[in-house]
Amino acid sequence: MPAGERRLWWCRKGHILGEIKHVLVGHHRVRALMLYEQSVTLEMLPAELPTLRGRVTGGMDAIQCTLCHAERDWVVGEDALSALLDGRRARLEAGT
């Protein structure tokens, strides 16, 4: 995928629920779902990232499209799981 290209995340009926971006979690670069406050159609898609409902780096079930109410799950990526385990391992080694 070319740099700067938007990676849209769609419901099964073709509405856009958010965008997939890479963010830093600790020292790890992980995939995150930037979940829009309101789902949009391709024609309604703003040039910039719209108001967000939230940023999802772990898993999340039953994310609902605000236009048609179709649901879709966001599954935690291997990169985010690795970041979580590394953070936990570091806390165990530090004794906290």
- Dihedral sign for Cα 42, 73, 60, 75, please: negative
**28: number of Cβ within 10 Å:** 16
Which run of H or E residues covers position 79? helix 78-94
Confidence category of residue 3, pLDDT binned at 50, 70, 90: low
Structural domain boundaries of the chain? 7-94
Q: What is the pLDDT of residues 70-84, one digit of tens each?
A: 999 998 777 767 766
**pTM of the full predicted structure?**
0.78
Distance CA 11, CA 13 (A): 5
